Chain A
Amino acid sequence: MNEIKRHTLAVLVDNEAGVLSRVARLFSGKGYNIDSLAVGTTDDPAVSRMTIELLTDEKQARLICSQLRKLICVHSVKRLSAERAIRRELVLIKVSAPTHEARNEIIQIANIFRASIIDVATESLTVALIGEDSKTQAIQNLLTEFGILELVRTGTVALERGRLTIDEQTKEKDEFDYGKNVL
């Protein structure tokens, strides 16, 4: 219960000014550092979906979810378990490539990772990669020796596998029943 691990939260919110700060404030007010946060509109333009990742223990994760649900701007909150979620992140890495050899090598690495080269200049290449953090970390390690000039991540976005969606209340119920029947 007190083990610190990564928790992925999917949150549907109003697509309105100030909503991001209302949500972020809940975390900062408790002294949590948000590991990663990605926001974008959904198929409904009035609704945005946030994917929030944070390192904390089970109890705090439950608490933060129930507090998120109290915000008027929040439609629904669901915790996505590591096994049942697909998580992806886009990373752009600008690598120093002043020579042919360097460029070729970087392109090879990119191919192995199924990354794409999205910008080429005389002294640099920009690699784009979509994946989970183990994969993005691996390519980052390999490219470090060429000299990473700049790196940007979108933050992880996640969906549940299969037919389940954020609107299914089953998991919320499980989570809420925690502590019951410890009798």
Chain B
Amino acid sequence: MLMTGAKILMECLAEQGVDTVFGFPGGTILNVYDELLNYPSIRHILTSHEQGACHAADGYARATGRVGVCFATSGPGATNLVTGIATAYMDSSPVVCVTCNVDLPLLGKDSFQEVDITGVTMPITKCNYLVRRVEDLADTVREAFAIARSGRPGPVLIDIPHNVTQELGDYDPLRRAEHGMSGRLGQLMKRSSQNFRAPEPDYRDIDALADMIRASKRPLIICGGGVVRSRADWEFEEFANRIDAPVGITVMGAGGFRGLNKLATGLVGMHGSQASNMAVDACDLLIAVGCRFSDRVALKPSSFARNAKVVQIDIDRSEINKNVETAHHIVGDAKRVLQLLNERLEQLDHAEWKEYVFAFKTQTEYDEAEDRLTPVQVLDAIARAVPRDTVYTTDVGQHQMWAIQHLHFEYSGQLITSGGFGTMGFGLGAAIGAQTGNPDKVVVHITGDGSFRMNQCELSTVQRYALPIITVVFNNGALGMVRQWQKVSCDGRYSQTTLDRGPDFVKLAQAYGIEGRRVTHVAELEDALKAALSTGAAMVIDCAIGIDEMVRPMVTGGSDITHFAVD
């Protein structure tokens, strides 16, 4: 069937079952947007900025487990995606970005709105493509989706020169199940199977680990982002219960293990609980599932879990032994590996060890106040008001850590946060994606005054598509996390971290056609949340909190994990 490149692209998206695309049009992507009009099954969400589109596609992917898709034009449109792509890359989120570029003959001539976006995004994509011939387009799109979603997921970018979207090419429809059976993708899958299929774990390795677990007196499990990506909640919980071992949760692992399970020791690492960090130090066997031991978890690799044999279970073999030396490892999908382990393990009992670990605090006790709002009061009020399956997105900073420490997530995909890249301004875009993918769930976007202003322009997207996102701003009039660092590391010399300036977030919300409320007491906050939930409309709730609130405890980077700089 002969059709234009733009139509081939849309057909290929339909093949993949794409129902939502986030994006922003422009000159070179004109033909694609023209063709979009013929595809009512694909909903396009027009954002205010391409970065918001990319975060939305990312949020959609994390919340639904499906591939998120975004469109942007050439040049600045494409480079505006970069932060979003890097965010998705660091947190292994499957996103396919489609950008268009100038006509092939104009490529490399510094043409208007030209940029070598495949060159720019090489370090932050699993793979990227410049499609030079319309005949290659369909195969490339199929390949891009397969790569984005398989193995360790991640972003893929397809750059299509404008003339390719216009030229006629032959398109043969192919069902998704058949994509890997022929063409380039078929060859590729045969050749580098590890990139497409999680390797079936070596059973001898599984047996060896089961023996290690039986021999261990003080086992600790770490729930990492791999559990969430693999949606292995059930298998993980079964595993933890079988071993009867405490479970520390990383930022990316939040949701993978029910925060209220009595084996959960809370967050582990820099802002980890006493119980988690003391357990890391005292355990004799540390089993990390889908965790790459980032510098925020293994703060000092040489002393991390110094009394333990470290075992790493990861889908990506290049993560094995990268940050922390392991005694044993299993390469495979978390779900599959845990299934195999559960089949082999009998019920174990570690009452004594648990008694030791749970004598330490699993959660920070923050001061309560009558006369003002504290971060924990805000979080408690939210948790009381919203349904249990509410999806939370966060920005980056103190509010993020408070939320992850204090809210108890119950399932994979419930928390959407930029853990690896730490992208301020991620949350609102991500909330748009999460809400679009989960129209029936409540989505709460927790942010700070510093992060929120970075991409607050997406409030217009929230308003236009009537997305009932509740934005809760932890407004302390400062870049709180940096301020906290300045207090701990710079003797309280606060350099450029005081946000003594506008905007008035209530008026800002109103300007976007969204209700805004400023709250200074729990009762006001409860009223606001109740109103937002009952009307089913978006709301921005500006919570006044103290400038000197700290995230506790805190272990600075490079220190022993039990060396708390702030208790």
Q: List B contacts of A29 (CB < 8 A).
A: 123
The yes or no answer to B329 lying at the interface (CB within 8 A) is yes
Tell whether A72 pairs with B147 under 8 Å between CB atoms, given A25-B122, A29-B123.
Answer: yes
Residues B328 and A72 in contact, CB atoms below 8 Å apart: no
Our pick among B119, B188, B317 for the contact of A21 (Cβ within 8 Å) is: B119
CB distance from B328 to the nearest CB of A (A): 6
Query: Chain A 29-63, CB within 8 Å of chain B: the 1/0 string?
Result: 10000000000000000000000000000010011
Q: Which stretch, A112-120, A132-140, A175-183, touches the partner chain B?
A: A175-183
Q: A179 contacts which of B130, B192, B326 (Cβ < 8 Å)?
A: B326
Which residues from B are CB-within-8-Å of A128? none
| With contact pairs A21-B119, A21-B122, A72-B127 given, residues A176 and B317 touching in the complex (Cβ less than 8 Å) | yes
B192 to chain A, nearest CB (A): 7
Q: Given A18-B118, A72-B188, A183-B327, are A178 and B321 neighbors across the interface (CB < 8 Å)?
A: yes
Question: What 0/1 readout, one digit per residue, does chain A (61-98) give for beta carbons within 8 Å of chain B?
Answer: 01100110111111100000000000000000000000
- Residue from B195, B325, B331 in contact with A70 in the complex, judged by beta carbons closer than 8 Å: B195
Minimum CB–CB distance from B53 to chain A (whole Å) comes to 25
List residues of chain B with CB within 8 A of the CB of A63. Answer: 318, 321-322
Q: Which residues of A contact B321 (CB under 8 A)?
A: 59, 62-63, 178-179
Judge if A22 is at the interface, Cβ distance under 8 Å. Answer: yes
Residues of B within 8 A of A178 (CB): 321
CA of A13 to CA of B440, assembled, Å: 47
Residues of B within 8 A of A70 (CB): 126, 195, 316, 318
For A25, what are the chain B residues with a Cβ–Cβ distance below 8 Å?
A: 122-123
Chain B, Cβ-Cβ closest to A74: B192
B325 touches A22 (CB 8 A): no
Other-chain residue from A67, A73, A179 in contact with B325 (beta carbon distance below 8 A): A179
B126 near A72 (CB under 8 angstroms)?
Answer: yes
- Indicate if the CB atoms of B325 and A72 lie closer than 8 Å: no
Q: How far is the CA of A182 from the CA of B327 in the complex (A)?
A: 6
CB proximity of A45 to chain B, nearest CB, Å? 15
Q: How far is the CA of A17 from the CA of B208 in the complex (A)?
A: 44
Question: For the complex, what is the distance from the CA of A73 to the CA of B147, rounded to whole Å?
Answer: 12
Would B194 and A69 count as touching, CB distance under 8 A? yes
Please give me the residue from chain A that is nearest to B126 by CB atom: A72
B147 to A66, Cβ gap below 8 A? no
Complex-state Cα separation, A25 to B309, whole angstroms:
34
What's the tally of chain B residues with a CB closer than 8 Å to chain A? 29
Q: Does B191 have its Cβ within 8 Å of any Cβ on chain A? A: yes
A75 and B123 within 8 A (CB)? no
Question: Chain A residue with minimal CB distance to B310?
Answer: A179
- A67 to B326, alpha carbons, bound, how many Å? 18
Is A69 within 8 A of B318, CB to CB? Answer: yes
B539 interfacial contact with A, CB 8 Å: no
In the complex, B519 has a CB within 8 A of chain A: no
Q: Which chain B residue lies CB-closest to A12?
A: B191
Q: Among the listed B192, B208, B326, B329, which residue makes an inter-chain contact with A75, where contact means beta carbons less than 8 Å apart?
A: B192
How many A-B pairs have beta carbons closer than 8 Å: the answer is 61
Minimum C-beta distance from A76 to chain B (A): 8
Chain B nearest Cβ from A62, distance in angstroms: 7
B386 CB-CB contact with A under 8 Å: no
Question: In the docked arrangement, what's the CA distance between A62 and B327, Å?
Answer: 16
Query: How many Å lie between the Cα of A62 and that of B322 in the bound state?
Result: 9
Residue B212 is within 8 A (CB to CB) of chain A in the complex: yes
Tell me which residues across on chain B come within 8 A of A17, comparing CB atoms: 130
Question: Is B270 in contact with chain A by the CB < 8 A criterion?
Answer: no
**Cα(A182)–Cα(B328), bound, Å:** 8
Inter-chain contact A72/B195, CB cutoff 8 Å: yes
Q: Which residue of A lies closest to B321 (CB)?
A: A179
> A73 CB to closest chain B CB, in angstroms?
8
Residues of chain A contacted by B331 (CB below 8 angstroms): 176
Supposing A179-B327, A183-B327 touch, asked if A66 and B318 sit within 8 A by C-beta, the answer is yes
B543 within 8 A of partner (CB): no
Asked if B320 CB lies within 8 Å of chain A CBs, one says yes
Nearest residue, chain B, Cβ from A22:
B122
Residue-wise, chain A 153-183 has the 8 Å CB interface mask toward B (1 for contact) of: 0000000000000000000000010111111
Tell me the nearest residue of chain A to B317, going by C-beta: A66
Which A residues lie within 8 Å of B328 (CB)?
A: 179-183
Minimum distance in angstroms from A135 CB to a CB of chain B: 36
Q: Name which of B123, B318, B329, B331 has the most chain A CB atoms within 10 A of its CB.
A: B318
Using CB atoms, name the residue of chain B closest to A62: B321
Interchain CA distance A70-B191 in the complex, whole Å: 12
Chain A residues whose C-beta falls within 8 Å of the C-beta of B326 in the assembled complex: 179
- The answer to whether A75 and B191 have CB atoms under 8 Å apart is yes
Task: Evaluate contact between A179 and B191: CB separation under 8 angstroms.
Answer: no
Chain A's closest residue to B309 (CB) is A183
Distance between B183 CB and nearest chain A CB, rounded to angstroms: 14
Please, how many angstroms separate the alpha-carbon atoms of A93 and B375 in the complex? 72
Give the Cβ gap from B215 to chain A, nearest Cβ, in Å.
9
Residue of B nearest to A68 (CB): B318
B192: A residues at CB distance < 8 A: 69, 72, 74-75
Give the nearest-CB partner of B328 in chain A.
A180
Residues on the B chain within 8 Å of A179, using CB: 320-321, 325-329
- Complex Cα distance, B208 from A182, in Å, reads 12
Nearest Cβ in chain A — how far from B204, in angstroms? 10
Whether A183 and B320, one on each chain, are in contact in the complex, defined by CB atoms closer than 8 angstroms, is no
Q: Which residues of B contact A67 (CB under 8 A)?
A: 318
* Bound: A179/B320 CA distance, A: 9
Q: Give the CA-CA distance A100 to B318 in the complex, in Å.
A: 59
Q: How many angstroms between the C-alpha atoms of A25 and B208 in the bound complex?
A: 37
Taken together as a complex, chains A and B put the C-alpha atoms of A62 and B191 apart, in Å, by: 21
Cα distance, A63 to B192, chains bound together (Å): 18
Q: What are 25 of the A-B contact pairs (CB < 8 Å)?
A: A18-B118, A22-B122, A25-B122, A29-B123, A59-B321, A63-B321, A63-B322, A66-B318, A66-B320, A67-B318, A69-B317, A69-B318, A70-B126, A70-B316, A70-B318, A71-B127, A72-B192, A176-B331, A179-B321, A179-B325, A179-B326, A180-B328, A182-B327, A182-B328, A183-B212
Write the residues of chain B forming the contact surface with A, with a CB cutoff of 8 angstroms. 118-119, 122-123, 126-127, 130, 147, 188, 191-192, 194-195, 205, 208, 212, 309, 316-318, 320-322, 325-329, 331
Q: Nearest 5 pairs between A and B by C-beta?
A: A66-B318, A72-B127, A67-B318, A182-B327, A179-B321
Other A-B contacts than A178-B321, A179-B321, 5 sampled, CB-CB below 8 A, are A22-B122, A67-B318, A71-B127, A72-B147, A72-B195
